[in-house]
Amino acid sequence: MNVACNDVAVSGKPCDCDVVAQCRVGEAVELEVRLTNRSQGPVGPFALTAIPCQDYQNGVLNHELQDAVTFIGSNTFHIDAVKPQEKAVCAGALLFLCTGDFYLNIRFQDDSSGSGGRELPLSWFCLPSVHIKALDTPPEAGA
């Protein structure tokens, strides 16, 4: 089974591991993840979760960000099934409450009742870690 991602977009702009998305503190940031099932059979059910963290540039990740980042709605999306060659779109929003460099790690979990929530093989997915820089001033044009 092979699931491929079409793209990840932050505030409507494509985002990958080489692109740093910029936003303004206190303004909603839209997050959209599009998945395409490139396998021969349906895939699902599964859950997609966006997990924020902050990297202190020394390999130490801070996941205790309840005072820095909040999701507008849920950070988890449940997908029943994606048929072959069809797409699933997960869209949400988050709010940064302070400045800094943040990362969103996008994870998948098997959502079927018989599996106990095991992690799906990483080879099924090609989602980048999303790097977002929250600024006090408006983001630079073209960023």
CATH number at residue 100: 2.60.40.10
Does residue 143 fall inside a structural domain? Answer: no
Asked if residue 38 belongs to a domain, the reply is yes
* Residue ranges in the chain whose pLDDT is less than 50: 1-6, 115-123
In total, how many domains does the chain have?
1
Closest CA to 126 of 110, 108, 111, 109: 108
Look at residue 74 and tell me if it is in a domain. Answer: yes
pTM equals 0.76
Q: Please tell me the predicted confidence (pLDDT) of residue 61.
A: 74
In a domain, 141, yes or no: no
81 belongs to a structural domain: yes
Is residue 140 assigned to a domain? Answer: no
Find the domain containing 58 and state its range: 3-135
Q: Is residue 142 part of a domain?
A: no
